[in-house]
Structures are given as C-alpha cells and as structure tokens.
Structure 1
C-alpha cells in the first residue's frame, strides 16, 4: 500500500512566478478612489516597517530562547508551573505559516491607553509646569515662596493631579491585578496565510450568527486578487498621513493596516509594508529575513532550501551584537526612505485588465 505525502503548500499558495490569468477588475466608485493611490505589484524589495525588526531584537530573541530552555528543563523535572494566562488564546499568530492579527479587548486597551496617556503627558507637562510656576512666582509681587505655593495650590489639583492619578492607577492595575485587564478580544480581525495563499477577513456580523451562537464568519479570497492602496488624509494639524490598505478586486473586502502599523507622514512606510506582505506570501521566495522568523525558517521548505544553498547562519539574528543590530536597523530605515515603489510597473496588469 503506497502512501502519498501531502504537499506542504496548498494548490492555492501564492507564487509571484505563477499568477493565473484573471477576469477584468470591477470599477470602483469615486468614493473608493478618493484619496487612494493604487500601488504596483511585483519587484518587491527586502523591506519591512522598522517596527517589525524592533519588536524582535537579538536581546529579545535570546531572552525568549532562555525562557524556552528553562521551561523544557522544568517540564522534564516535573517542576514546571504554567505562567498566568499561558494557555489563553489571544487569537494572534505570526510565524512561517500565517500572519493572523487581533486587537486586545476593549477593557485591556482602556487600561493600556490610560497608562500611556497618564505617563506620557505627566513626563511632558511636569517640567513645563514646574518651570512656568517658578517663572510666574519670580515675577509676583508677593514673597517668592508664598507666590509659588499659591500657584501650586491653585493649579496643581486641576492640571497635574489627574495625570498622576491616571498613571498610578493604570500602573497598579497592569502590574498587580492582571485579572482586571487581561482579556482576549472576541477573535481575530484578518489573516494572511502563506501555506494556502489565502487572505481571510473575519466577519462578526455573519447574518447575526455571531450574536446567536458565537460563530465567526470568514470571508476568504486568494492573495493575488487583492490590490494595495496608499490611503492618505490630513490629521488635526493639517499634516498628511498615509496608511496601507488592501482591497479585493471583485468583492467588498477591504483590510486597513492602520492598527498594525500606525499612521505615518511618510508614504514610504506603507509602501515598505506592501513589499513585506508580497514577500511573506510568495512561496517562490524565502521568508523575509527578519528576527521574528529565525526560529521558523527551517520549517518552511522554500526558506530551508534557500538557507541551505546560501549557507545562511541559522543564528544570524539571535547571536548578533547590539552594535551590528543597530547598524542593520539604520540600513533598513535608509532603504525605506529610498524605496522606488512608484517607479515600478504594475506587473499584475499582465494578468488583469484594470477598468479604472
């Protein structure tokens, strides 16, 4: 009896050298075209937003490796005690197979944002408040220390105390009472799957099914049926900000990546994200060479074959010293600034007729 091994990549997996012929695109409404510029497919550079590299520094990789070793040793010795919330599913994944994104629950976001708000503004306003009070007291006709105390007594409780209270309360909750803020969201938002080549948007309307029985709908389509757009708009100060979104060519499926990479006044950053997404999904190419993927590279067949052929050091990132890592980060930022996205032809036009 013969057994046939199941291929690692699905038949639907995306390959930049094997894009099928597709039907003409549907025409977008003027509202969909407004403030959105289509980005070209193909010729993606080895780029990614710098935040992707910062989140997994060599120090962080070494810490995670030590934690895994310690965990395995304790499991072998029978002394391992699971960390709080270790087995809680927070719905996010980011490895060699899939990039699944989810946000924290509203409760978790509230305490996190309160901490950031209280700490951030306290650090900004405290020196300003003190210097202003000292300057006003010096100009007062009252004795200096009386004038200074009067200013503090009149303004401190209104201006600075609320910030300090927010910072202290949020810090206390985050550090000492995890049960009050650690809570998974209802589920993921979107997923890009390298093995299947599919993009999934998770639907929480789903004709009321989620409210009835908790069933999350899935709207799925091949990656090559999405086009990327640079969406631009002014902020409150009038400065133009940019974000990447991808929209399905034939259906109403849109994924906005502003929660993944913050709005940026540099158009180059969303373009770098688009290059990253193309490289991540392209199974004819290895995984992007980023610290996050180092522990997974041997598990992806295309990447493993590439690393064997090129003799890549499997511990390239994890053994990197701080100065070299800093130079790598500087070089990445320089490459992002020099990105050539709008000079490239749209190679998808060989396979699709765009009507707008």
Structure 2
C-alpha cells in the first residue's frame, strides 16, 4: 500500500507529510517569531528519539497501558479520560500533572541536591578547620567553637534536605496517586492520523485553545537558568499566526542537553510524518502493525515484530546509550 493510498484510506487530508511543510514555508516566508532558537524541519527525518524514548521499561509500561485500554474497552478520547495518558500509533497525549505533583517533584529534587551539596560543604569546612587547628597554632577551643558555629548552620540545612528527599521518596512508594497526581484533562495532543496538534486550555477541561495542522507550527528551544545558573532548555511549538505557544515539557522534560530536545523534535516529526513509518522505539512496538505506513514498511524490511521485546535489558540499554551519545552532539 503506497503512502498516497494510505492518505486516502486511513489518514485524514490534513495528515502531515514534509511536502506540506515545504509548501507552507514557501507561502509564509515572513512570519511572527519568539525568543529562542528556531529549529529546522527535516525533509526526511532520521529515525531518532530522546534517551528516555529508548528506555527498556517503556516496553512494560506500554503493554500495561494497552492491557488497561482493552480491559476497559476504551477508544478515542476515552483512552485519555480513562487512563489520563495516551501514547500509541495514532495519538500522543502526555499526562497533565497537578500543581501539587510538580511541587513535590521539585521539592524532592531540591532535597537530593542540597543534601549532597551541604554535606560535602560541611565536610570540606571540617577539613579546613582541622587544618587550621592542627597546623595554625590554634587551641582546641578554636576547633570546637568553629565546628559548633558550622553545625548550627549546616545541620538544619542537611536535615531539611533529608526530609524533602526521603519524604518525596516515601510518597512516591506508598502514595503514588499523590506523588504522580494527574488531572482529568490534557494539555495537548499530537494526532498522527489527522495531522493535527491540539492545544487545550489548562484552566478549562477539554476546551481547545487551538487546533491546527502540525506543519503550521514552528519549533523553538528556549533556555532559562536553573538553580545553579546553568542554562536549562525547553522545547516549544509556536503557531506564528495565532501567536499561541505550547511547551512540550510534559512529554520531553527540560534539560541542560539541548541535543536531547533536538532529538525530541526529530522524533515528533517522524511520528507525525505519514510518508514514513513510526519511530522505532520500544513503547511503540506493540502498535506498529496498526499503522498502515508502518506495517507496510515493516513487511518490506522483514522487521521482527518482537525486535525490542526479544532483547535483554542490557541489549536495549546499549542501544539507548549509543543513541544518547549521538543526541548530545546534535545542534
């Protein structure tokens, strides 16, 4: 079955192909922009993805979601309504975490970072004070008073960090519904079958702010400083005429490795491009036969339908590492 036949039989007229983007760019050379680095569109995207997309655990996660979908007889938007996430051959709709969940995740991360930083700083200060005491001619009172002052500052910081760290891990293990709390409505939706990107109003469940063909959006990398002042990047899709933007953090988290988000952008293009098969990543393997273009390509290549599932965890991790090393060099 050719790509053209697929477009008529299974995919909507608005389904994305690189030719549509090229024609749109030629028709709209001057368009609104935002601050950040605008990413290019590839005419034929390489089969790529972020480090997380190649995680071995995605095999089990994807199968679990599919089992739930079948058990609950969910189709269409009911998949997200019933499971609060969707990731298959037709649609990507990431979970929409609650504000409390985001606070808990940030607090846990801060707890881990500050625990190790403050512990290391206290140990370094201990060595400095000990050196001055032993070799600087100071008496034991100097050592004790200096350590007391240091402890008065560092102990509360260390203990608070430890509480945040272990408290977060306790909630994650014992009360995951709180630690991973999700809202009932989505943030955005990528639909390969229709070629549309839908952006929802975060305040009003299921109300669409914008729904437009995927090829009308520009992709940007925007940076902001993290707690240590280093640049942290986010991937953003922006509609230059509607002037609406959407961060894709829910699916592709901010990172200090811009190459990982360039790989994410390549992954999205490949996922939406119905002239090419789906990205060959572990989580999508059980869905490949349901997508016409992908099924035809896999049949031609003689791809093992259990390519990922027949691998050991170590074999998958080797490929994951190779992909990551390639991604960090992307610009």
* Correspondence for 2:5: none
Give the one of 75, 98, 101 matched to 1:108: 101
Name structure 2 gaps, 5 residues minimum: 1-7, 72-79, 134-138
Q: Identify, as 1 or 2, the structure richer in helix.
A: 2
8 Å contact 1:287–1:303 — kept in the other structure? yes
Instruction: Give the Å deviation of 1:255.
Output: 2.2
- Distance in 1, Cα, partners of 2:248 & 2:226: 17
Instruction: Give the Å deviation of 1:333.
Output: 2.7
1:15 equivalent in alignment to 2:17? yes
1:297 equivalent in alignment to 2:278? no
1:25 equivalent in alignment to 2:28? yes
Q: Please list the CA deviations of residues 201-231 of structure 1 after superposition, one character each: whole Å capped at 9, or x if unmatched.
A: 11246xxxx3xxx562341111122232344
Give the total of aligned pairs: 310
Name structure 1 gaps, 5 residues minimum: 1-5, 76-86, 342-356
The change in CA–CA distance for 1:17 and 1:159 in structure 2 (over 3 A counts) is closer
The TM-score, its normalising length taken from structure 1, stands at 0.71
Instruction: Give the Å deviation of 1:298.
Output: 1.4
* Correspondence for 2:187: 189
- Distance in 2, Cα, partners of 1:215 & 1:68: 23
* Correspondence for 1:159: 157
Instruction: Give the Å deviation of 1:282.
Output: 0.9
* Correspondence for 2:3: none
Q: Please list the CA deviations of residues 217-253 of structure 1 after superposition, one character each: whole Å capped at 9, or x if unmatched.
A: 3411111222323445666777555443222243223
Give the one of 308, 317, 323 matched to 1:332: 323
Give the one of 245, 252, 264 matched to 1:273: 264
1:126 equivalent in alignment to 2:119? yes
The change in CA–CA distance for 1:49 and 1:180 in structure 2 (over 3 A counts) is closer
8 Å contact 1:62–1:318 — kept in the other structure? no
- Distance in 1, Cα, partners of 2:99 & 2:265: 28
* Correspondence for 2:52: 51
- Distance in 2, Cα, partners of 1:34 & 1:66: 40
Q: Superposition RMSD on alpha carbons, in Å?
A: 3.8
- Distance in 1, Cα, partners of 2:251 & 2:149: 43
8 Å contact 1:133–1:151 — kept in the other structure? no
The change in CA–CA distance for 1:260 and 1:139 in structure 2 (over 3 A counts) is same
The TM-score, its normalising length taken from structure 2, stands at 0.76
- Distance in 2, Cα, partners of 1:163 & 1:225: 45
Instruction: Give the Å deviation of 1:279.
Output: 0.7
8 Å contact 2:18–2:42 — kept in the other structure? no
Q: Please list the CA deviations of residues 30-63 of structure 1 after superposition, one character each: whole Å capped at 9, or x if unmatched.
A: xx35444352341322111222213xx1x55258
8 Å contact 1:231–1:245 — kept in the other structure? yes
* Correspondence for 1:78: none
The change in CA–CA distance for 1:165 and 1:13 in structure 2 (over 3 A counts) is same
Instruction: Give the Å deviation of 1:199.
Output: 0.7
